[in-house]
């Protein structure tokens, strides 16, 4: 298939061909095993202006996530719930193909997968951040940007979003309730804050299948050559809270095979988060 | 106990809503189909293959599959804005990606095949119903495929794993697992889940959705084979 | 429908049988010994051979096909011809202009063929990017040279290419019956364009016959029934199967 090289640079083509040759021999760049993640570096509080933030390096993939809080009106069908908005963008700096402009379907899919993980996991107690039911609630914004894209954006962005949320500080709900009359005149950034308590930690693990072989944490070149990409998001309880088949198809058996690998790897990433001070 | 379990619409846990598929319903489209699944009413039109424009975007080794999943403003209880939402963009992508596994795109270099999915009335599990109808429309268009693609959902409602999640069940339920398969090749081509499921529940729901998909596959077959059956009865009609 | 016939849909297995089908094939080989139909259609399985008559398929232009189309555009060195396929055809100027040396700067293409002109042509070449090169010159015996180049004063019918084998019939039996009933010139092109030169009454009759054939494509003994309707005795027509103007036979 020559067409996958359309719009690719020579360096990228070489990387892709190299990845294919290596995977055929069960090898990966940097002597990585099929079930090994690249090095992960998590740093929180990297953006001082946000209420919460984190920068994650997953090999050469770099993601920055920021959390912001605002006051807003709840949705009509959920008057007793705070609002969560998760949006991600691949910045034009991220790769040759990345383009500025409104999010494309790839960016939307990634954002929605991470959104579902956070939303469905019960990570956030949405009822806790209601000021006046049906009128005023806290809007929770989680924005992430891919600064450099070397594949497996979902796992990296999920770690960044989770780390930013888990270390965020939220304006005190009690304080806002007491000062609700003057709330239009005060700057939300100046309201006294408290720790944003998360109730769960969702971990996303993306699994690739190449010629029947299961591998984790595909880099950008590997993403091009694998037949299948699937993401499972797990909770601390071992339950699954989100699944997304991103590319290709898989046999019925492979569904459960990749699920098991994702579960094992979720434990590993959970441990790394814990080592960075992020746990329940 | 479980035998007495009844769902909000009176179905048993492993029962599909009433369904009906019709092929070749649109006169102008190269291929078309309609599915009714419960109150879901979805129409699909296929156009192509045709020359892809702009030309520089065309692929030299295969056709480009374009897919738009779209909900009509009146399809939901609250009016939906007609402009594509993020949800619709994501669903268009996962549906296309699933159908790409089946369509033999290599036969039509430089071409594009357009699939337009219009959800006229929505009542839960629209993405899998859409995919089921879209593959019938592609077959009706005479576009070569390795296999049909058929979708079905399962989920967890009130602690129980159930088949073919309806709208209320989706809102009130604990989990939703839509899948689509190629029934002869035994491959999963769409798999999503949101909510909370243990590994055991995931397996149970997956297997239930699989069974539901195979039942709908029989309906796809019937709808397509009917087209040919209709063209065989010359004698009956010539007497009119 | 006889016992060896079976309606198939895409993905339905047809086993490891020697395949005999049109176009690029209506089967897909999954692996050794396992093949499936890629189309909705009727599979005729006999003597370890299989022939699939699809309900519909996409017409893929092939070298040697006789097609009829309209001039819809100019290129510096020829004409763009709409032939009802997924891609337009190209008819080079030097194929049409033979007596003088072709010079794109001097020659007025309109003198030869204009926008909207109907032309009959043969596909000379199809490259892998689906570019179609046409010619109006043929050395083939079975192509009537009168049907090449500009065609005027014809009634036009467009049918789906999938229906052509039925309209022509086994060894040309169906079209022969039709021609027996309808005087005048009937041209069938492989892109599904059918031309008729004759009276309007006859054209209307031709159209209604074609409609019946299209509607009952899979009726068994359709040729006999059409003959009966038109009051034609069959035994004459089955003699000497004809191959109408290069159009593929039903077998």
What pLDDT shows up at residue A194? 95
Q: What is the separation of C-alpha C91 from the centre of its chain, rounded to a whole number of angstroms?
A: 19
CATH class of the domain comprising C155-246: alpha beta
What pLDDT shows up at residue C20? 58
Where is average pLDDT lowest: A77-86, A106-115, A196-205, C164-173? Answer: C164-173
What pLDDT shows up at residue B5? 74
Domain boundaries A3-275, corresponding CATH code: 3.30.230.70
pLDDT band for position C238 (cuts 50, 70, 90): very low
Mean pLDDT value of segment C207-222:
90
Instruction: Give all strands of the β-sheet with B111-121 in edge-to-edge order.
Output: B19-23, B31-37, B40-51, B111-121, B64-71
Residue C103 reports pLDDT greater than 80: no
| The architecture CATH gives domain C66-151 | Beta Barrel (2.40)
Please state, in angstroms and rounded to a whole number, the distance separating the CA atoms of residues B45 and B28: 9
Q: Does C87 touch chain B (CB under 8 A)?
A: yes
Please state, in angstroms and rounded to a whole number, the distance separating the CA atoms of residues A29 and A10: 18
Please state, in angstroms and rounded to a whole number, the distance separating the CA atoms of residues A69 and A139: 6
In chain B, % of residues over pLDDT 90? 82
Q: Does B217 touch chain C (CB under 8 A)?
A: no
Classify residue B160 by burial, with Cβ atoms within 10 Å: 0-12, 13-18, 19+: middle
Average pLDDT score over chain B: 93
DSSP C218: T
Any chains having at least 3 CB pairs less than 8 A from chain A are B
Of A90-104, B195-209, C171-185, which one has max mean pLDDT? B195-209
Average pLDDT score over chain C: 83
| Domain boundaries for CATH 2.40.50.140 within chain C | 66-151
What pLDDT shows up at residue C201? 93
N-to-C CA span, chain A? 47
Please state, in angstroms and rounded to a whole number, the distance separating the CA atoms of residues C96 and C86: 24
> Which residue in B182, B186, B188 is closest to A245 by CB distance?
B188
pLDDT digits (tens, 9 = 90+) for B155-175: 999 999 999 999 989 888 999
Residue B98: CA count within 13 A, CB half-sphere:
33
- CATH T-level assignment (fold) for domain B2-234: Ribosomal Protein S5; domain 2 (3.30.230)
What pLDDT shows up at residue C244? 36
**What ipTM does the predicted assembly reach?**
0.92
pLDDT digits (tens, 9 = 90+) for B52-62: 888 888 888 89
Residue ranges of A 214-253 with Cβ closer than 8 A to chain B: 230, 235, 238-252
B233 vs C216: CB contact, 8 Å cut-off? Answer: yes
pLDDT band for position A4 (cuts 50, 70, 90): low
pLDDT band for position C50 (cuts 50, 70, 90): confident
What pLDDT shows up at residue C251? 29
Q: Which residues contact C155 (CB under 8 A, 6 or more apart)?
A: C195, C196, C197, C198, C200, C203
Please state, in angstroms and rounded to a whole number, the distance separating the CA atoms of residues C218 and B183: 27
N-to-C CA span, chain B? 56
Please state, in angstroms and rounded to a whole number, the distance separating the CA atoms of residues B45 and A56: 44
| The architecture CATH gives domain C5-54 | Beta Barrel (2.40)
| Separation in Å, CA C94 to CA C64, C126, C134, C138 | 19, 18, 11, 14
Q: Who wins on pLDDT, B211 or C106?
A: B211
Residue A181 reports pLDDT greater than 90: no
Q: Does B232 touch chain C (CB under 8 A)?
A: yes
Q: Who wins on pLDDT, B79 or C103?
A: B79
Q: Give C217's contacts in chain B (Cβ within 8 Å).
A: 231
Provide the pairing of β-strand B187-197 with B175-182: antiparallel
Please state, in angstroms and rounded to a whole number, the distance separating the CA atoms of residues A41 and A62: 9
C36 vs B60: CB contact, 8 Å cut-off? Answer: no
Q: Give A6's contacts in chain B (Cβ within 8 Å).
A: 59
Q: Do A and C touch, counting CB pairs below 8 Å (3 needed)?
A: no
Write out the H or E segment, with its range, that includes residue C10: none
Residue B240 reports pLDDT greater than 50: no
pLDDT band for position B4 (cuts 50, 70, 90): low
N-to-C CA span, chain C? 17
B228 vs C88: CB contact, 8 Å cut-off? Answer: no
What pLDDT shows up at residue C47? 67
**At A46, is the secondary structure helix, strand, or coil?**
coil
What pLDDT shows up at residue B238? 38
Instruction: For the beta carbon of residue C53, count every other beta carbon within 10 angstroms.
Output: 21
Looking up tokens 């949405």, which residue turns up? A126
What pLDDT shows up at residue B239? 33
B146 vs C28: CB contact, 8 Å cut-off? Answer: yes
Provide the pairing of β-strand B187-197 with A250-251: antiparallel
Q: Does A85 touch chain B (CB under 8 A)?
A: no
Residue B207 reports pLDDT greater than 70: yes
Please state, in angstroms and rounded to a whole number, the distance separating the CA atoms of residues A160 and A219: 17
Write out the H or E segment, with its range, that includes residue A140: strand A136-148
A3 vs B78: CB contact, 8 Å cut-off? Answer: no
Count of helices and strands (H, E) across chain B: 5, 9
What pLDDT shows up at residue C21? 52
What pLDDT shows up at residue B3? 55
Q: Which residues contact C68 (CB under 8 A, 6 or more apart)?
A: C83, C118, C119, C120, C121, C151, C187, C189, C191, C193, C195
Pick the residue of C1, C6, C10 with the most B CBs within 10 A to test the interface with B by mutation.
C10
What pLDDT shows up at residue B211? 98
Average pLDDT score over chain A: 95
What pLDDT shows up at residue A7? 77
Q: Who wins on pLDDT, B85 or C75?
A: B85
What pLDDT shows up at residue C143? 77
Query: Is C61 within 8 Å of C52 (Cβ atoms)?
Result: no
A251 vs B101: CB contact, 8 Å cut-off? Answer: no
pLDDT band for position B179 (cuts 50, 70, 90): very high
Please state, in angstroms and rounded to a whole number, the distance separating the CA atoms of residues A20 and A221: 8
Q: Does C1 touch chain B (CB under 8 A)?
A: yes
Residue A248 reports pLDDT greater than 70: yes
Q: Who wins on pLDDT, A186 or C62?
A: C62
Residue C250 reports pLDDT greater than 60: no
Which residue(s) pair with B187 in the sheet? A251, B182
A245 vs B101: CB contact, 8 Å cut-off? Answer: no
Helix spans in chain C (H): 93-96, 164-168, 173-181, 200-215, 222-230, 234-237
**At C187, is the secondary structure helix, strand, or coil?**
strand
Write out the H or E segment, with its range, that includes residue A208: strand A203-210
**At C49, is the secondary structure helix, strand, or coil?**
strand
Mean pLDDT value of segment C189-207:
94
What pLDDT shows up at residue C235? 58
Mean pLDDT value of segment A250-275:
98
pLDDT band for position A114 (cuts 50, 70, 90): very high
The pair of structure tokens assigned to C90 is 């190209």
N residues, chain A? 280
Q: Give C229's contacts in chain B (Cβ within 8 Å).
A: 238
Q: Which residues contact B163 (CB under 8 A, 6 or more apart)?
A: B13, B14, B15, B16, B152, B153, B154, B208, B209, B211, B212
Provide the number of CB pairs (under 8 Å) joining chain A to chain B.
95
Query: Is A226 within 8 Å of A235 (Cβ atoms)?
Result: no
């Amino acid at each position: 298939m020559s067409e996958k090289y359309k719009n690719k640079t020579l360096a990228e083509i070489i990387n892709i061909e190299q990845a294919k040759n290596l995977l055929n021999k069960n090898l990966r760049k940097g002597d990585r095993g099929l079930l090994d993640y690249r090095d992960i570096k998590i740093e929180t509080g990297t953006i001082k202006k946000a209420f919460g933030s984190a920068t994650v390096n997953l090999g050469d993939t770099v993601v920055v996530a920021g959390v912001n809080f605002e006051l807003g009106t709840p949705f009509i069908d959920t008057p007793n719930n705070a609002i969560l908005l998760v949006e991600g963008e691949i910045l034009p700096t991220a790769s040759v193909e990345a383009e500025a402009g409104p999010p494309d379907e790839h960016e939307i899919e990634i954002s929605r997968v991470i959104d579902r993980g956070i939303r469905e996991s019960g990570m956030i107690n949405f009822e806790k951040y209601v000021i006046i039911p049906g009128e005023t609630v806290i809007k929770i914004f989680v924005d992430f940007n891919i600064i450099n894209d070397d594949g497996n954006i979902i796992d990296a962005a999920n770690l960044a979003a989770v780390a930013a949320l888990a270390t965020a500080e939220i304006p005190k709900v009690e304080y806002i309730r007491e000062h609700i009359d003057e709330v239009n005149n005060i700057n939300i950034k100046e309201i006294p804050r408290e720790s944003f308590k998360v109730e769960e930690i969702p971990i996303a693990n993306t699994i690739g299948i190449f010629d029947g072989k299961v591998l984790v944490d595909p880099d950008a070149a590997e993403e091009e050559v694998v037949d299948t990409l699937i993401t499972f998001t797990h909770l601390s309880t071992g339950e699954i809270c989100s699944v997304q088949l991103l590319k290709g198809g898989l046999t019925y058996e492979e569904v459960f095979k990749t699920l098991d690998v994702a579960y094992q790897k979720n434990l590993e990433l959970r441990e790394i988060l814990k080592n960075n001070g992020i746990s329940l | 106990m479980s035998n007495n379990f009844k769902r909000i619409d009176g179905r048993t846990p492993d029962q599909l809503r009433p369904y009906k598929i019709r092929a070749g319903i649109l006169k102008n489209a190269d291929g078309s189909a309609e599915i009714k699944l419960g109150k879901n009413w979805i129409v699909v039109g296929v156009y192509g293959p045709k020359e892809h424009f702009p030309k520089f975007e065309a692929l030299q080794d295969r056709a480009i599959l374009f897919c738009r999943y779209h909900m009509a403003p009146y399809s939901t209880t609250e009016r939906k804005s007609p402009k594509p939402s993020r949800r619709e963009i994501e669903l268009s992508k996962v549906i296309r990606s699933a159908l790409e596994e089946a369509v033999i795109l290599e036969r039509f270099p430089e071409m594009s095949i357009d699939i337009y999915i219009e959800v006229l009335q929505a009542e839960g599990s629209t993405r899998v119903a859409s995919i089921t109808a879209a593959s019938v429309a592609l077959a009706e268009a005479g576009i070569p495929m390795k296999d049909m693609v058929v979708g079905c959902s399962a989920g967890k409602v009130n602690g129980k794993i159930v088949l073919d999640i309806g709208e209320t069940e989706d809102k009130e339920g604990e989990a939703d697992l839509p899948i689509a398969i190629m029934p002869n090749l035994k491959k999963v081509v769409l798999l999503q889940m949101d909510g909370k499921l243990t590994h055991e529940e995931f397996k149970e729901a997956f297997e239930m959705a699989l069974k539901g998909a195979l039942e709908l596959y029989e309906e796809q077959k019937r709808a397509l084979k009917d087209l040919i059956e209709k063209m065989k009865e010359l004698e009956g009609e010539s007497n009119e | 429908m006889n016992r060896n016939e079976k309606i198939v849909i895409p993905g339905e297995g047809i086993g490891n049988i020697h395949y005999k089908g049109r176009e690029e094939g209506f089967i897909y080989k999954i692996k050794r010994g396992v093949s499936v139909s890629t189309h909705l259609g009727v599979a005729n399985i006999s003597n370890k051979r299989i022939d699939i008559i699809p309900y519909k398929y996409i017409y893929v232009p092939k070298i040697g096909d006789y097609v009829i189309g309209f001039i819809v555009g100019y290129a510096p060195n020829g004409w763009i011809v709409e032939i009802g396929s997924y891609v337009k055809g190209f008819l080079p100027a030097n194929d049409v202009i033979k007596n003088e040396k072709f010079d794109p700067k001097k020659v007025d293409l309109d003198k030869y063929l204009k926008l909207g002109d109907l032309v009959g042509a043969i596909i000379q070449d199809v490259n892998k990017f689906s570019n179609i090169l046409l010619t109006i010159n043929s050395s083939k015996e079975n192509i009537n040279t009168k049907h090449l180049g500009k065609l005027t004063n014809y009634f036009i019918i467009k049918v789906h290419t999938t229906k052509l084998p039925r309209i022509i019939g086994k060894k040309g039996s169906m079209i022969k019956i039709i021609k027996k009933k309808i005087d005048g010139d009937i041209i069938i092109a492989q892109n599904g364009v059918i031309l008729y030169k004759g009276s309007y009454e006859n054209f209307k009759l031709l159209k209604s016959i074609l409609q019946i054939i299209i509607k009952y494509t899979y009726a068994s003994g359709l040729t006999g029934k059409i003959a009966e309707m038109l009051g034609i005795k069959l035994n004459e027509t089955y003699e000497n199967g004809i191959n109408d103007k290069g159009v593929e036979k039903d077998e």
